[in-house]
Amino acid sequence: MINKSKNIEAGNGRNDVLKIIGIVTMAIDHVGLILYPQVIFLRVIGRLAFPIFAWYLAEGYVYTSSRKRYATRLGFFAAATQLPYFLATRLNNLNIFFTLLIGLFAIDCFRKKRYISTIAIVLFSGLFPLDYSFYGVLMILGFYVFPQKEKAIFFQSVLAAAGVYLYGFIQSLSLLGVALVLYYPRDLAKIRLNKYFFYFFYPAHLLIIYGLSFLPYFAK
């Protein structure tokens, strides 16, 4: 499993280049979902986003100075984002912050060797309308449990196959996001974002896209 001395070759110090890629591809995905639902290619690009955030969550669990504050922060923004998420997407499920929060709980139980609780969290996550359901929780947990590239890519490949069954062939392209996380050259120039940037960007970009949907060009 990931620890502070050995993780998925994260390198020393935080590098948010991958997070920027995740943010951009997520925004493209939501533009496709909300404004251009007929342009499937936009949704294809969006498949890169979740694996990136799943990996950051697994790594963040290890490196955060307070796991309790980390969970509280995710819970707060999950609740605050739900209305913008519903307004923009019209989906009757919980936003991605809830999936990340449940994934955090799964990692915490696994680290404490509460394996039955870990399994229960994964199973019960499929009973709630989470974005990505138990598939997303398993992806998060997998990045923590399998830090080695070979094991990680094998696990995520099997999971992607399950994703095809659950969400259609397009979900297999999430493996591109997984490969990006695992093989991104860590020695490239580093960029760091404020740790709250993504938390505020997520609801803000949804509201902006929602506002754009009322323009005459997009209005039905």
Please report whether residue 51 resides in a domain. Answer: yes
Q: In this structure, is residue 8 part of a structural domain?
A: no
Q: What is the pLDDT along the chain (220 residues), one digit of tens a residue?
A: 666 544 444 444 457 899 999 999 999 999 999 999 999 999 999 999 999 999 999 999 998 889 999 999 999 999 999 999 999 999 999 999 999 999 999 999 999 999 999 999 999 998 889 999 899 999 999 999 998 888 999 999 889 888 777 777 777 788 889 999 998 887 776 788 888 999 999 999 999 999 999 988 776 5
Other CB atoms within a 10 A radius of the CB of residue 214 amount to: 9
- 218 in any annotated domain: no
**Structural domains of the chain, count:** 1
51 with 174: CB under 8 angstroms? Answer: yes
Residue 2 lies in a domain: no
Structure tokens at 124: 């019960």
* Residue 1 domain-assigned (yes or no): no
Its pTM stands at 0.90
In angstroms, rounded to a whole number, what is the distance separating the alpha carbons of residues 202 and 196?
Answer: 10
**What three-state secondary structure class fits 129?**
coil
Q: State the residue range of the domain holding 69.
A: 17-212
Which residues, 6 or more positions from 16, have their beta carbon under 8 angstroms from its beta carbon?
A: 190, 191, 192, 193
Residue 117: count other Cβ atoms within 10 Å of its Cβ: 15
* Assigned domain for 220 exists: no
